[in-house]
Amino acid sequence: MEELTDRCAKLQLSAREDAEVEIHAPLTEDGPALIGKFCTKRRINLESVARVMKSVWRTEHDFEVSDLGENKAMFLFQTKEDLEKVLLLNPWSFDKYLLILHKLVHGEVVKEIKFNRSPFWVQIHGLPIMCQTKEVGMSIGATLGEVEKVDANGKGFCLGSFLRIRVLLDISLPLCRGRKVRLGEYGLKWVDFRYERLPIFCYLCGKVDHDEKDCLQGIRSKDALRLDENQFGPWLRASQDKNQKSQLVTAEKNGEARPVGGVRPNMEWGMAGQMVSTQARTGGSANNQDETKRTVINRADVEERTDTVSHVCIKNPDFLQVPNFEQQIRELDDAINGKVPGMEVATNQEVSLEREKTT
């Protein structure tokens, strides 16, 4: 409004221009639409965008893509569920460049939308394991941006090799490489940050809204730095094989390990959201011990998946009766080894009869 007032003050409006036009806003709810900006100087092909994003978003219904110019596009969804699913799994990238998404509300003008924030999962490495708590994650994350979530268990701990936080970052600022953390009597420590699903970013200035080719700092710099001299680099990316899957297992008194939540450790997700057993016997001899493959459901995966069911469906409840199942295994082993019930007595009788005949 202030900008409009300043413009009008400098212009001499005619009688026709000075007339006001009243527009009634629609009375419908906010439409399921997202405005996206592609952080690249390259020209975006709209058909490629629609094809690629349809395959990665996996929406239940079709959506429309409209070109808004300046590498911006509007994604119009049929349902709010599809829209919320896309936002939940942010950040997204197209051709390895960041795609910033903004939920459109009534009254917004595209030119006035600031595409300067995007959520990222940030890994914090170097903390003492007992300091990997929700409270610590909130404290460190607050220095990065708005904290949306801390990957911790019900007791507020993240007992893994690092602490994960989801933060809404200001991409107009360079990526933070770490923080100095004072741990009371343990003194000052440096913790490293690693960013999951980090797209192409500038190794010169550390911003994710462009690469080195479009970096003003690199253009203005007389002597370009070598790759090993850059203050930023690919080491800021979290390796896919190092992405921690948060899990917690409780050891019961009988020696069985069970994850928190009551799900059996020898059960894993199967088709159609059902639980299937991964228990298998590896030896046929009576002296061999049963080796059981135990798979624990990852809490982070279950929370982020939107296609999982709200409850666990099991086809055969009797299968979970451990004593019965172990008895069946023993009977199968006996059958494989020729120890069929009743056969031992019969064999002894046959041997005694043969001896009587010979005598």
Choose the final residue of a domain: 214, 242, 270.
Answer: 242
Is 20 within the bounds of a domain? Answer: no
pLDDT band for 117, please (50, 70, 90 cuts). very high
- The Cα 258–Cα 295 span in angstroms is 10
What pLDDT shows up at residue 226?
A: 57
Same domain membership, residue 221 and residue 200: yes
| DSSP track, 180-207 | EEE-GGG-EEEEEEEETT-----TTT--
Of 46-55, 103-112, 159-168, 222-231, the poorest mean pLDDT is in 222-231
Is 19 within the bounds of a domain? Answer: no
Is 227 within the bounds of a domain? Answer: yes
- The Cα 199–Cα 36 span in angstroms is 15
What pLDDT shows up at residue 129?
A: 87
**What is the tally of structural domains in the chain?**
4
Is 13 within the bounds of a domain? Answer: no
Choose the final residue of a domain: 279, 295, 315.
Answer: 315
| DSSP track, 261-295 | TS--TTEEE-GGGBEEE-------STTSPP-----
- Collapsing DSSP to helix, strand or coil, 222 comes out as coil
CATH number at residue 62: 3.30.70.330
Domain residues for the domain of 254 are: 249-315
Place of tokens 């979530």: 149
Is 18 within the bounds of a domain? Answer: no
Residues 169 and 118 sit within 8 Å (Cβ to Cβ): yes
* Cα R_g (the chain), whole angstroms: 31
pLDDT band for 334, please (50, 70, 90 cuts). low
- The Cα 114–Cα 92 span in angstroms is 17
Is 329 within the bounds of a domain? Answer: yes
Same domain membership, residue 60 and residue 154: no
Same domain membership, residue 125 and residue 218: yes
Same domain membership, residue 218 and residue 122: yes
pLDDT band for 297, please (50, 70, 90 cuts). very low
What pLDDT shows up at residue 295?
A: 36
In the chain, % of residues over pLDDT 70? 58
Q: Which ranges in 65-133 belong to alpha helices (H)? A: 80-88
What backbone phi and psi angles, to 5 degrees, belong to 74?
A: -110, 130
User: Amino acid identity, residue 45?
Assistant: N
Of 56-60, 257-261, 263-267, 331-335, the poorest mean pLDDT is in 263-267
Is 234 within the bounds of a domain? Answer: yes
Report whether pLDDT(163) > 90: yes
Choose the final residue of a domain: 294, 315, 336.
Answer: 315
Tell which wins on pLDDT, 287 or 36: 36
Same domain membership, residue 103 and residue 62: yes
What pLDDT shows up at residue 192?
A: 95
Give the mean pLDDT of 18-39: 73
Same domain membership, residue 157 and residue 101: no
Residues 192 and 122 sit within 8 Å (Cβ to Cβ): no
The DSSP secondary-structure symbol of 58 reads -
Same domain membership, residue 301 and residue 238: no
Tell which wins on pLDDT, 44 or 255: 44
Same domain membership, residue 333 and residue 285: no
Tell which wins on pLDDT, 133 or 227: 133
- Secondary element (H or E) of residue 156: none
Of 108-112, 286-290, 310-314, the poorest mean pLDDT is in 310-314
Q: Give the residue from 198, 142, 148 showing the smallest Cα distance to 175.
A: 198
Same domain membership, residue 177 and residue 131: yes
Q: Give the residue from 243, 61, 250 showing the smallest Cα distance to 160.
A: 243
What pLDDT shows up at residue 286?
A: 42
Q: Which ranges in the chain belong to alpha helices (H)? A: 2-10, 46-57, 80-88, 134-142, 216-220, 299-304, 322-336, 343-358
Tell which wins on pLDDT, 282 or 328: 328
* Torsional sign, CA 58, 63, 66, 72: negative
Same domain membership, residue 196 and residue 226: yes
Residues 74 and 65 sit within 8 Å (Cβ to Cβ): yes
